[in-house]
Amino acid sequence: MAEDTAPRQGPLRGLRVVETATLAAGPTVATTLGEFGAEVIKVEQPGSGDPMRTWGDRRDGIGLVWKSISRNKRFVSLDLRVPDGQALLHRLLDISDVFVAGNRPSALERWGLDYESVHASHPHVVMVHVTGYGRGGPKSDHPGYGTLAEAMSGFAHQTGQPDGPPTLPPFMLADGVAGLAATYAVVMALYHRDVRGGQGQLVDVNLVEPLTRLLESATLAYDQLGLVKRRAGNMLAASAPRNTYRTADGCWLAVSGASPSIAARVFRAVGRADMAQNPEYVDPVRRQERAAEVDTVVAEWIGRHTLSEAMRVFDAAEVAAAPVYDAPSLLADEHLRARGTFTRIPDPDLGHVTVQAPVVRLSETPGRVAHLGRGLGHDNDAVYGRLLGLDAKKLDELRTKGTI
């Protein structure tokens, strides 16, 4: 396992990021930057730390998602509610490039860490502020969580069976989408600063809008056609067949007929070459009008075959189909194993942990996982002592006062 003293690799080496955000959206930004060479210093409240440390599934009290989302970071404890803590954070920002914050605007303003204060003192810093509702508007200072964003964005309204309730995702969807949106915004802001000769600026991202953008077909349909999208289960108005289907051996697979040529392959594969030649099923609009009939034909054929039998036929016919995986199947998939999608990382707390490798593949400057999440304040001495130059006496004083 690489140590923090090892030379950093990747296209973002030399970049320093300070992260005070908690839970998922803001930390995802810093995680991605850290995978590609940025030095990330995660700042946590002394004593408690990021709630993500104990969120979700745990082993020996350690949150498993925490271990992965905190990869490659350095960890310091710091009380931002007191002047000494705020002063130390400003010293870190003096020598940093990116500041990732997630607190409500009113809290940052009380601490002198709102964008206006940060920009006045550190005009070179790109500040990322990920909040529930974003800057401006009557909800700007309300507490926001991914669940609320998944409801407000329109996602829950469109997800679920037609006769069932709006359905929320069983994972942190809004946080993840917002984190990815904020990450590319940071890179654009750094390009403006470093290539165009500009200053740092504010990256204002909330949890609602990035997910809403993915669902924009709903607002476009309402704006132009007066249509309000309804729940349709796994069906999709622009694609038929499109569903998950149960096989004879109790497994599931998904099929997509998004284009006429792909739909025709499905029909031929299930023994209905007549449908592949019939304009009623070839034309996308007319085929969609018969979506229920198409779905029944495909479901009945799949239901008579095991998963391996169906996939063997579909693969040979180049049908757009895939098995519905659970975690063991995902980890065992030969294609993902060949690509190195998952990697096993040694960890002092858990022995070894299998985590997903960096998602983006760069041919010349690939990302990496150097280590997983570490203990609260693990790097206090290294960051406050060696990086900021505080002596042992000062560090002891700050510990006694509870500042770090």
Please give the positions annotated as active site: 175
Is residue 19 within 8 Å of residue 100, measured between CB atoms?
yes
- Integer CA distances (angstroms), 105 to 97, 109, 134, 390, in order: 21, 6, 9, 30
The pair phi, psi for residue 293, each rounded to 5°, is -65, -45
Helices 260-269 and 291-303, packing angle to 10 deg:
40
Judged on CB neighbours under 10 Å (0-12, 13-18, 19+), 295 is buried
The pair phi, psi for residue 122, each rounded to 5°, is -140, 70
Q: How far apart are CA 342 and CA 338, in angstroms?
A: 10
Is residue 88 within 8 Å of residue 47, measured between CB atoms?
no
Write the single-letter amino acid at 29: V
Q: Which of 73, 85, 66 is nearest to 41 (CA)?
A: 73
Strand order in the sheet with 98-101: 74-77, 39-44, 16-19, 98-101, 126-131, 202-206
Helical H segments across 24-82, by residue range: 25-35, 64-69
Q: Which of 320, 213, 219 is nearest to 260 (CA)?
A: 320
